[in-house]
Structure 1
């Protein structure tokens, strides 16, 4: 058995990296971060839409996003060499009855700390001239939200944690979790066991598999594929906000001089290295033709897919397992793991160090909510 650690984090994506950073900020540096791949953030972290959008129909997620926004806009000095957030804007197109409901909620949303502007269809089409205004009844613009530099954020977490003494090992797969007297005591790798006081499950799409190794509570986390394509456009779209429409089931946004587009697909599947689906790509182009026909491309520059892993209630799972002491969940972030990582990392660090947190009602995230009688 190699030397013991206070905390072993399984997974080197944005969840594990943020936790390692905030543990180090709390003075806990006897931490080992394990990543199966040769590079951190190879899966969901590196394949996301990479935006902060502080509007969410699930109140818990919206609060996590709002609570994380300050860090993304104003990170600590020296955290990253470039800004983490480009306030390029998020414009959400709405139809009735959701448009009227949003207008009623707008003052409360602004009071909670999110700046927004309500736009008529004509105003929205003036900002993005390719939109067919008859396709929606209104729009909400989040002018201070926008594109997140995921590379700068991920490596900021990792670099700062490493400077404070956190150890990181790549290419190490966890093959088992030793449990003794109802408590997780070590992880098993090809090179032997690594003892730990805490084992943190930050394994993304593989979190369910890691939990099964420990005999932890069987929380049904399900990965879902999401497809994204990038293509060239003849118009200058660099100043456009991201445009999202739930009614049309698509979003598009400026990307590398062109546009990226997603049909917002959610195809459940086993944890894997997903590939872009031809049917999903075709649906994306069909939906784009209805909302902004002038944008439909003749060819695609690039396509890819990633996995977004959800719990049944679509809220992240954070906290000690109700069955196996010392086994800690930091999983099920769905599609908002990057934009919520500052607050989620702090919540998890608080719970590990103090057993409680004043930042958020942790009961809303706790794995106990899935316990059966």
Structure 2
């Protein structure tokens, strides 16, 4: 809660204490912009999407803009600055993507360009893939692409690395503080309203995750159709020793699984659109996921589950993140719509957003591909 003695004026107010807001606070303060306040409605940071992800860097993506962002983000995850975290942020445990006939032909043809773009991959025959993950049925796919430099992200270390360094550099963080309004004066953002009063700011950053659309509506910003979608994950005991297995991802079978705490983690890759909420798993969705697993790796289907949870992944209409100043309301800055790749791209989108706020431009990336202006609405 905010006491009467706490400051009410800042250069930048970031709304949202997930990975997006935390990374921006880190990269702004790295640039010397320390007059920053991060606000989070929940009592702890990373409660929603950040804390419920599969925690994986998987660079391969059919959307070229996302692939490029993941490559940039992966560079930060593999080699964060000295002293960023006490433990490695990324474990290069590998990601193995399975393909059926036409897509296998396409990925083989595209492999040189993918490597040229910065993603190392190893093409595997079904027999070679089964040698790595013996539970797979070789007849179910035509080949696989192994991403040996990708793998498991320590989300806790990453989130608290961002938050801890930003705080030590002077950024303030207030949890349990809900933004209820956005103040706009003469077409420019002037601050936010909370239950404890108004906070003035030159920039208000919309890093509100599934609630980004609602925050934008409070500011009467461009009406970008951001839609949250539920994604479910379960964990269960493994029938064999799965240590050393890569994550296995199959779009055709609509699932992925990976080693997790001595057992396995699986997602049925559900994508149910819904209003912003504290998402909960659906038993039928989980059952259908295991039915698909039975056709790909039947020996892995469990009798019972250890845990189950769901989170919300929020997408723009073109499934590309929305990063930049609003075309209607000056000083209202979007850092939203990361879909399912907010954690793995945070080391790219954070500095891109910091550049745009500090300098109004960036040399790191083509900002036009991310700009909210691409949807019109000016």
Of 280, 301, 307, the match for 2:285? 280
Partners of 1:238 and 1:320 lie apart in 2 by 45
Partners of 1:113 and 1:65 lie apart in 2 by 10
After superposition, where does 1:134-283 map in structure 2 within 5 Å? Answer: 134-283=139-288
Match of 1:94 in 2: 99
Partners of 2:87 and 2:221 lie apart in 1 by 40
1:54 is displaced (CA, Å) by: 1.1
1:372 is displaced (CA, Å) by: 4.8
After superposition, where does 1:24-63 map in structure 2 within 5 Å? Answer: 24-63=29-68
Partners of 1:233 and 1:185 lie apart in 2 by 54
Partners of 1:259 and 1:106 lie apart in 2 by 29
- Residue by residue, what CA displacement relative to the aligned partner does 1:136-175 show, whole Å, maximum 9, x if unpaired? 0000000110000000000000000000000000000000
Of 303, 314, 320, the match for 2:308? 303
Partners of 1:310 and 1:238 lie apart in 2 by 33
Q: Runs in 1 of length 4+ with deviation above 6 angstroms? A: none
Q: TM-score, normalised by structure 2?
A: 0.98
After superposition, where does 1:16-27 map in structure 2 within 5 Å? Answer: 16-27=21-32
Q: TM-score, normalised by structure 1?
A: 0.99
1:3 is displaced (CA, Å) by: 2.5
**SS, match of residue 358 in structure 1:** coil
1:304 is displaced (CA, Å) by: 0.3
**SS, match of residue 179 in structure 2:** coil
Match of 2:328 in 1: 323
Partners of 1:43 and 1:76 lie apart in 2 by 27
Partners of 1:185 and 1:317 lie apart in 2 by 21
1:292 is displaced (CA, Å) by: 0.3
Match of 1:70 in 2: 75
Gaps of 5+ in 2: none
**SS, match of residue 42 in structure 1:** coil
**SS, match of residue 29 in structure 1:** coil
Of 314, 318, 321, the match for 1:313? 318
After superposition, where does 1:6-25 map in structure 2 within 5 Å? Answer: 6-25=11-30
Partners of 1:239 and 1:14 lie apart in 2 by 28
Partners of 1:217 and 1:279 lie apart in 2 by 37
Match of 1:290 in 2: 295
Partners of 1:247 and 1:217 lie apart in 2 by 36
8 Å CA contact 2:37, 2:172 repeated in 1:
yes
**SS, match of residue 285 in structure 1:** helix
Say whether 1:367 aligns with 2:367: no
Cα RMSD over matched residues? Answer: 0.9
8 Å CA contact 2:121, 2:148 repeated in 1:
yes
Of 86, 110, 131, the match for 1:126? 131
1:75 is displaced (CA, Å) by: 0.7
1:93 is displaced (CA, Å) by: 0.3
